[in-house]
Every structure is written in C-alpha cells, then in structure tokens.
Chains A and B, each alone.
Chain A
Amino acid sequence: MDSLNQAKIQKFEEFVDRRLKPDLVRAIAERDKVFEQQKIFSDLRKNIENLEQNSVTNLRTLVNLGSEVYMQAEVPDTQRIFLDIGLGFHVEFTWSEALKFISLREEKLERQIEEYTRLIASIKAQIKLVCEGIRELLQIPEEKTVEGRVF
C-alpha cells in the first residue's frame, strides 16, 4: 500500500513540476507583456492630452540612431500622428481620433489581462489541489484519494 502511495505521490509531484509550474510561469509572462502594452498606450494617451492642452505644434526631440547615439529632430506639425494598430500597420490620426483609438485599444488590453489573470488563477488552483492530495496521501496513507485534473 505504501509503495503504491509512494508511486502516486511521485507521479503527482512530477505532474506539478513538469506541467503546472511551467504553465504558470508562461501565463504570468504573457500577462506581463500585456501589461507593458497597456502602459505604453496609457503613456501615449497622456502625452497626446498634454500636447492638446498646451497647443504644441512644433516639437524638438532627440532621435536614437542606435547604440545611444542621438540626433536632433524637428516635428513641424504635430497635428498628424501615426499610430500602430497592430500587424505592422500605422494609421494616420488626428489628435481626437488618436485619443479615441487609444481608449479602444486600452479596453482590449484590459480584457486580455483579465483572461490571463483567470488562467493564472486556475493553474494556481490546480497546483494547490495536487499538493493537497499529496499531503493527504502522506498523512493518511490508507485513505484513497481521487486525483484528477480539474478544468
């Protein structure tokens, strides 16, 4: 009986270590990426609102040519802005259109983040379940535990 339980425990531990934990790590990484995107767009929105408020038309910036070598650049007309809408496309917007687009984008990102959060939570729950099962096996060897993946 013990040996059987030992084998079971071994299997469960392996399952946790090999499948669940890496899944968890991957899900968290994906969610972080989405977080970053979200941050980018929120910064952009703030900047555009700033420009609008101050009615900035000209802009002098430093452009990174690579390896931290900068060159001065001038933007004569800030009315038109090109936004990346995904799949390598950049669309010309006016400020107000840009703001609208950015808010739409932000909503989409929020939904994605929520999805990832749910996935991460479920993986964590699975890990906990398996650990609990292992614990039961160890403490009460006679009791038969029914383990299974819960989706």
Chain B
Amino acid sequence: MEKPEVKGTVTSLSSMFPAEEVQKAANRVAETLSEKQNEMNQLREFIADNTSLINLVQKLPEELHHDIMVPFGKAAFFPGRLIHTNEFLVLLGESYYVERTAKQTVEILKRRGKSLESKMDALEAFMQDLKAEASFFDSTASEAAEDLVEIKEEYEEENSTETESQSGELEQESPSFAEADNTMVASEDDEFAHIMSRLEALEKEELAAESYGENDEDQDTGAAVSDGDEDEDEQAKAVFHRKKYEGYSSLDHDQRYSEVYQSRKPLQQLKGKDSMNEETSSKYHHQDLISQLACTGLTVEPVIKGKMSHSQSMPQETKMLNPSINASVPFEKRVKFEAEHSSRNEKSVQTSKSGFDSSKAFTGSIVEHTLNLEKASPGQTTSQFSGSQTSKPVSRFKMQRK
C-alpha cells in the first residue's frame, strides 16, 4: 500500500550489493566448496582403505604362512612367504611403531575409522553451510541483476508500512537500514525538534503550574515513565469516559496517546528545558492543530497537547483553540509532520500534560513526561493556560457539549 506522501527511501539492490562483488563472493564460496569436496573424496578413500585393511588383517591369521611376492624396492619382487601371521607392526605416528596381534590391530584400525568418519561428518556440515551461502549469493546476484529495489520507510504509528525486498546480507542491510532511517529521521528531526522543544516547555509549565502530583518532575525519566504510564492510563480512562459522553470514538487515540507519551518522554529529555518554556505554549497550539488536522470527521477530545498525534479533529475544539491556534498557525505544517510521525505524537502527548484546560481540549489527566516539564517556567505556561487550568472539569463539559 503506497501512501500518498513519499516516505522512506528507495535504494536499488544493485547499489547496495554490487553485482560484481556478489559474483565474486559467489565464486569464492564455490571454490571453497570444491576444495572441501576434494577433501571429502580423499577422506572417503581413506575410509575405504581402512575397511579393506581390517578385512585383510582379520583374514591373515587363518594360515601359518602365506606365499607372496615380496617387493624389493619399487620395481622388483622376490618370491617369499609371510610369517608370524599374527604379529603386526603398526605405525602410530611420529615414527612410533607397536607390535600388535591381529585382534588388537583391528581395534586400532576401527578407532582410526571412527575418527575419519567424524572428520567427514564435520566436513559435510561445513559444506552444507557453504552451499546455503552459495545459493544465497546466487539469489542475491540474480536479484541485483534484475534491478530489485529496496524500499525503506520509517515506521509510523498510524499507518506505518515498511516494505523491504529481502536480499542482501544482514550485515550489509543493518548499516544501510540505519543510514536510511537516520537520514529520514534527521530531516524530520529539525522540525520536530523545534516543535518538540516548544511542547516540552509548555508541558513543563503546565506541570509546574498545576502542580499535579502525578507528574514527578524531579524524578528521573525512568520514574517519570512509570508514573507517566499510570497517568496515561488514568488519562486514557478519563478521556475514554469523556469520549463516551461525547460519543466520540477516541479509543484509538487513547492508545496512541499513551504511545505518544512514552515516545515523547525520551524526546523531551533530549530537548533543552530552557528553550521549551516559550515554545511549549506554541507547541500546545500546534498539537491542537495537529490533532485537528490529523483527524477528519473525528471529534478530538480536548486532549490536545499531548495527543496531537491522534489526528483527531474537533471542529468544536478548534474554536476553543482558536486563540491558541492563531499563534500556532505557522506551525501547522510541522504539526502535520508530528501527526504523521509517532515520535512527534509522543512529544505532543508529553507537552500536553496535565491540566491544560478546555482550550487545549485535553483532559487534565495528562501523561507525565519526563522531568523536563518540571523545569519549564510555570509562569509562561500559566499565563497561557490560566483560564483553562482551573476549568478542567468545566472544559470537559464544554467539550462534551461540543
């Protein structure tokens, strides 16, 4: 399913895995394979010789003497006899010989045969791996030749679709992945960073102003996360209830909010706290806008700030938000981005922490974000939200009506 917007990167397989290199790799594997094949054949010969020798050693003691042609060098024979037919001189290696009877010799030879067979099994396993590698290379080469293309897209909460052609070694893929993702993220990061910083600042202000016990500003991210989760749940529930009243189906959004929250938290931490103060307010606006923009036909709850990601649009809320919206008009575009990207959503969730009231359309139970919010200067936020803060319950009702 292709999205209307062009997301992700398209990389040609052949660029990632150049055809010649793949060919060379395949050749190398083939060579190693043939070498191992030769070794295997040699081992098989040894085993065959060993088996025949065992038979001979078992047969010889049947007679006292055997008439044979005794070789004298490479090109001469002497007619002679084999004597002491039960005594064998076996070479153990390193010029060590032992005199053994036929039975003992057979045992020695059997042990040798076993070690040979185990060697052969190991070789076979190795060859199997090589064959798998070779087939893999061949398929890669053919795919690269066919100009297969690898498509990468960033995962988005809303409609994330990632399609990749499968090919290439994992090793090669992972770095290219990282690169593609990084490039994609990097381009968006700038805008997001800006918005995020604002959102975070706003959130901080809210937190400070409202002094919600839920959000422990001083806590570390870990603690904040845990708290935030609880809060998120509570908030989600609250939102849910409200939605019921309002008849909005915001379930999905709730979930997204929670997700956004969690994702936002790390983001918030990254952002500087100082810069956020001023930006948070605008962020909040953005979030509202985003949520509105994202959803069409869905009435967005006053969640606003944090929940921009939800792409819920509340026409009614917009009115409330208007004052805030105006300020955030320039951010609309960015808001859209945020809505698209889960990461942004998180930010919005975070900033929309507790207590922004009716104008924000976010029920008081905002997710606690990470610590950053705490530091945001309460003054600025309060000024913006002053009206809304106290009217949390009121705003809900308002929203319901709307």
Contact = CB atoms under 8 A, between A and B. Distances in A.
Interface of A: 40-41, 43-44, 47, 59, 61-63, 65-78, 80-84, 90, 98
A58 to B, nearest CB: 10
A75 B77 CA distance: 10
B87 A73 contact: no
A71 B60 contact: yes
B6 interface: no
Contact of A71 (B69, B71, B72, B85): B85
Contact of B72 (A44, A68, A70): A44
B117 to A, nearest CB: 15
A81 B70 contact: no
A69 B58 CA distance: 13
Interface in B35-92: 49-50, 52-53, 56-57, 60, 68-85, 87-91
Given A69-B88, A70-B88, A71-B82, A81 B72 contact: yes
Contacts of B120: none
A76 B105 CA distance: 27
B74 to A, nearest CB: 5
A63 B70 contact: yes
Interface of B: 49-50, 52-53, 56-57, 60, 68-85, 87-91, 97, 105, 109, 112
25 contacts: A40-B73, A40-B74, A40-B75, A44-B72, A44-B73, A59-B70, A61-B70, A61-B80, A68-B90, A68-B91, A69-B57, A70-B88, A70-B89, A70-B90, A70-B97, A71-B84, A72-B87, A74-B83, A75-B78, A76-B80, A80-B79, A81-B77, A83-B76, A84-B75, A84-B76
A40 B71 CA distance: 13
Given A69-B91, A71-B84, 11 more contacts: A44-B76, A61-B70, A66-B53, A67-B49, A69-B88, A72-B84, A72-B89, A73-B80, A80-B79, A81-B72, A90-B77
B359 to A, nearest CB: 82
Contacts of A43: 73
Given A44-B72, A66-B52, A66-B53, A81 B89 contact: no
A41 B73 CA distance: 9
Nearest to A62: B89
Contact of A47 (B72, B80, B82): B72
Nearest to A75: B80
Nearest to B80: A75
Nearest to A67: B53
A82 B89 contact: no
Contact of B49 (A66, A72, A77): A66
A138 to B, nearest CB: 31
**Residue in A68, A69, A72 with the greatest tally of chain B CB atoms within 10 Å:** A69
Contact of B82 (A44, A59, A72): A72
Contacts of A66: 49, 52-53, 56
Contacts of B76: 44, 81-84, 98
A44 B202 CA distance: 104
A82 B88 contact: no
**Residue in B50, B57, B80, B97 with the greatest tally of chain A CB atoms within 10 Å:** B80
B78 A82 contact: yes
